[in-house]
Amino acid sequence: MEKRVKKIITELERAVPEARVELNYSNAFELLIATILSARCTDGRVNEVTGELFKRYGKPEHFLKKKQPALEDAIHSTGFFRNKAKSIMACCRKLEDEFGGEVPRTLPELTGLPGVGRKTANIILGHAFNEQAIPVDTHVKRVAFRLGLTESKKPDVVEEDLRRLVPREKWTDTATRLVLHGRYTCKAKKPLCGECVLAELCPRVGV
């Protein structure tokens, strides 16, 4: 397994040289808001919204100066806009009240924010703060299962399995590459197995 995981990581590094999230952001707070908005929404659509949103709302205090309906209008096209607006407002309130308007840098503090689960917290840690983390979204879960890197489809178990198999210094980049591989090649309904650089290493080709 160790040799196969090493080969998988090497092939992913060749296929996806730049391991970065596809959400546009310039700081931890923007990535936090963008990730909350990305639930059940494409990154492309989120980027369309945040391009204008972050010009008006750059800090937690800016969100709190507005009424929730105004935010709902601004993020309407991302879907589930009422719940997302409610979570963002509550999150900004907690950031202001407990963290001086700054995004905290630990997993327990991040997951204590409204609208922030373990996946979102790991994205923030990995990409905003350069900590090694493994965010498990639907793509990571699916690809890891198909590759035989986990026997579970529960995100917390998948994360633990990957943390055990992948060298720590490669956690964030490998997870990001798994996301991109799942998004563009190892798709849920029609995986492009004929184009996949991991096909020879995959025990569940086409599953």
pLDDT tens-digit map of 41-98: 999 999 999 999 999 999 999 999 989 999 999 999 999 999 999 999 999 999 999 9
**Annotated domain spans of the chain:** 2-19+134-201, 28-128
DSSP SS3 for 125: helix
**Residues labelled as active-site residues:** 119, 137
Retrieve residue 19's tokens. 């391991």
DSSP 131-198: -------HHHHHHHHHTTS-S---HHHHHHHHHHHS-GGGHHHHHHHHHHHHHHTS-SSS--GGG-TT
**Nearest alpha-carbon partner for 59 in 86, 83, 93, 87:** 93
pLDDT tens-digit map of 109-131: 999 999 999 999 999 999 999 99
Is-same-fold flag (2-19+134-201; 28-128)? no
Rounded Cα gap, residues 198 and 47, in angstroms: 30
Round the average pLDDT of the chain to a whole number and report it: 96
At 103 the pLDDT is 98
Examine the pLDDT at 204 and tell me if it is beyond 90.
Answer: no
At 159 the pLDDT is 98
Rounded Cα gap, residues 89 and 83, in angstroms: 10
Examine the pLDDT at 207 and tell me if it is beyond 70.
Answer: no
pLDDT tens-digit map of 140-164: 999 999 999 999 999 999 999 999 9
Report the topology of domain 2-19+134-201.
Endonuclease Iii, domain 2 (1.10.1670)
Indicate the length of the chain as a whole number.
207
Q: What mean pLDDT is predicted for residues 15-25?
A: 96
Examine the pLDDT at 15 and tell me if it is beyond 70.
Answer: yes
| pLDDT-based confidence at residue 202 (cuts at 50, 70, 90) | very high
Instruction: Please state, as a whole number, how many other Cβ atoms lie within 10 Å of the Cβ of residue 207.
Output: 11
Rounded Cα gap, residues 63 and 112, in angstroms: 19
CATH C-level class of 28-128:
mainly alpha
Residue type for position 169:
E
Phi, psi dihedral angles at 28 (to 5 degrees):
-60, -40
